[in-house]
C-alpha cells in the first residue's frame, strides 16, 4: 500500500496542480532554481578526508564535495565533426555511455532508450540543411545528446522538478521524483529524452553495479556524466571519442572549449528556438 508512495504522492500533487490552471503553476515551477540548502553547509577548502580515522576533534557531521571534483558554472561540449570519418568513430562514444549508465537495448525501436546516438546532418540541423550540400557532411553520422541547454524548456514544464538545472549547468534528472508525465519530452526540441515504457532491467546486457538503473514509468537522458565529474573524471563519451569531443567550462574564457569556440566556426542545434544549447558543433 505504501509502496512507491512518494512517486504516487507527486503524481497526485502534479495532477492537482494542473487543475489549478497550468500557466501560473508552470511559472511558479520555472522560477526559484536556487539550490537546496544543505543542513550542514561545507566551508570551502574543507579538510582532506580519507577513509581512515582522522585525528581531528569530533565535529558535527557535514556534507561536502570530493576535493578532486570538477566544478564549473556551466559545462559545455564541442564536437569536431571534421574528425569523424565513419560510423566506427562514433560507435565507441555511444558504447561507452550506454554501458556505464545501464542504458537498456530495447528490442522494439518504438521503445528505444538512448542517451547519445547518431543522426544525419539534416535531422540534427533541420533548419540548416539544404537540398544540395557538401558530400562529406550530407550522410555523415553525427553524435547527438542532451544539450544541457542554458535556457532549458524541459525544466520549465516539469511539474515535479524532477528535471532541474543544477549548480554546474547540468540539466539533471531526479528519477525519484519523476512521475512519467512526459511533458519534458514534448518540450525538448531535440528528442534527447526517452521514456521507459517497460522495466528496463531485463534489457541491460551487462549491468554496471556501480550505477543505478531506472524503473518503468520514468524518463531518462544524458546527465553529462555528473557522477564522473564529481570524482574528477571527464565524461565517458569524451574519453572514448579519440579527440572528437572536448569538454569544459563555458563561462571561463580561457577554457579548452572556449578556446576552440573562439578559433573555429561552431553551430548549435536549432539555436533559433532560444534554448541556448551547451553542445557546439564544428562542421
Which 202-221 positions form the footprint of ligand SF4 (CB under 6 A)? 219, 221
Residues 10-29 that bind another protein (CB under 8 A): none
**Interacting residues with another protein between 108 and 167 (CB under 8 A):** 164, 166-167
Report whether 18 contacts 160 (CB < 8 A). Answer: no
**What is the nearest approach in angstroms of another protein to the Cβ of residue 28?**
18
Looking at beta carbons only, is 85 or 208 nearer to another protein? 208
**x-marked contacts with ligand SF4 along 230-259 as a string, rule CB under 6 A:** -----xxx----------------------
Cell matching residue 17:
496542480
- Residue at grid coordinates 554546474: 168
> Residue 36 and residue 38: Cα distance in Å, rounded?
6
Segment contacting ligand SF4 (CB under 6 A): 47-55, 123-131, 148-156, 206-214? 148-156
Q: Decide if residue 113 touches ligand SF4 (CB under 6 A).
A: no
146 part of the interface to ligand SF4, by CB under 6 A: yes
Q: Which of ligand SF4, another protein, none has residue 22 at its interface (CB below 5 to 8 Å by kind)?
A: none
3-state secondary structure of 172: strand
Residue nearer to another protein on the CB measure, 213 or 241: 213
- Quick one: which of 79, 144, 154, 261 contacts ligand SF4 (CB under 6 A)? 154
Of 214, 224, 221, give the one whose Cα is nearest residue 245.
224
Residues 212-248: b if buried by 16+ CB within 10 A, e if exposed: ebbeebbbbbbbbbeebbeeeebbbbbbbbeebbbbb
Burial (CB count <10 Å: 0-12, 13-18, 19+), residue 201: middle
Of 93 and 278, the one with the shorter C-beta distance to another protein is 278
Binding span for another protein by CB under 8 A among 15-23, 55-63, 144-152, 239-247: 55-63
- Is residue 46 a contact residue for another protein (CB under 8 A)? yes
Does residue 58 belong to the site contacting another protein (CB under 8 A)? yes
Report long-range pairs for 185-191 (Cβ below 8 Å, ≥24 apart): 185/154, 185/219, 186/157, 187/153, 187/154, 187/156, 187/157, 188/146, 188/153, 188/154, 189/153, 189/270, 189/273, 189/275, 190/144, 190/146, 190/147, 190/269, 190/270, 190/277
* Sign of the CA dihedral running 35, 271, 98, 158: positive
Residue 80, SS3?
A: strand
Contact string 83-112 vs ligand SF4 (x = CB under 6 A): --------------x---x-----------
Residues 223-282 that bind another protein (CB under 8 A): 226, 230-231
DSSP bridge partners of 80: 282
Q: Where along the sequence are the contacts to ligand SF4 (CB under 6 A)?
A: 97, 101, 115-116, 145-149, 152-154, 157-158, 160, 162-163, 171, 178-184, 188, 190, 192-193, 219, 221-225, 235-237, 275
Amino acid at each position: 500500500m505504501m509502496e512507491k508512495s512518494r512517486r504516487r504522492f507527486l503524481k497526485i500533487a502534479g495532477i492537482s496542480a494542473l487543475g489549478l490552471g497550468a500557466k501560473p503553476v508552470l511559472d511558479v515551477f520555472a522560477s526559484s532554481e536556487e539550490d537546496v540548502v544543505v543542513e550542514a553547509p561545507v566551508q570551502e577548502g574543507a579538510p582532506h578526508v580519507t577513509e581512515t580515522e582522522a585525528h581531528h576533534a569530533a565535529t558535527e557531521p557535514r556534507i561536502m564535495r570530493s576535493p578532486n571534483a570538477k566544478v564549473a558554472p556551466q559545462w559545455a561540449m564541442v564536437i569536431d565533426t571534421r574528425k569523424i570519418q565513419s560510423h566506427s568513430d562514433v560507435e565507441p562514444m555511444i558504447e561507452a555511455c550506454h554501458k556505464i549508465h545501464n542504458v537498456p537495448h530495447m528490442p522494439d525501436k518504438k521503445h528505444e532508450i538512448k542517451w547519445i546516438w547518431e543522426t544525419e546532418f539534416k535531422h540534427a540541423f533541420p533548419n540548416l540543411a539544404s537540398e544540395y550540400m557538401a558530400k562529406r557532411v550530407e550522410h555523415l553520422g553525427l553524435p547527438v545528446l542532451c544539450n544541457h541547454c542554458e535556457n532549458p524548456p524541459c525544466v520549465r514544464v516539469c511539474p515535479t522538478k524532477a528535471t532541474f538545472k543544477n549548480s554546474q549547468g547540468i540539466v539533471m534528472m531526479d528519477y525519484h521524483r519523476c512521475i512519467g508525465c512526459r511533458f519534458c519530452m514534448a518540450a525538448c526540441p531535440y528528442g534527447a529524452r526517452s521514456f521507459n515504457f517497460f522495466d528496463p532491467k531485463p534489457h541491460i546486457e551487462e549491468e554496471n553495479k556501480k550505477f543505478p538503473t531506472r524503473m518503468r514509468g520514468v524518463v531518462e537522458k544524458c546527465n553529462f556524466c555528473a557522477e564522473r565529474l564529481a570524482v574528477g573524471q571527464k565524461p565517458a563519451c569524451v574519453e572514448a571519442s579519440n579527440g572528437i569531443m572536448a569538454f569544459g567550462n563555458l563561462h571561463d574564457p580561457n577554457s579548452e572549449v572556449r578556446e576552440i569556440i573562439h578559433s573555429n566556426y561552431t553551430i548549435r542545434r536549432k539555436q533559433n528556438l532560444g534554448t541556448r544549447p551547451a553542445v557546439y558543433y564544428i562542421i
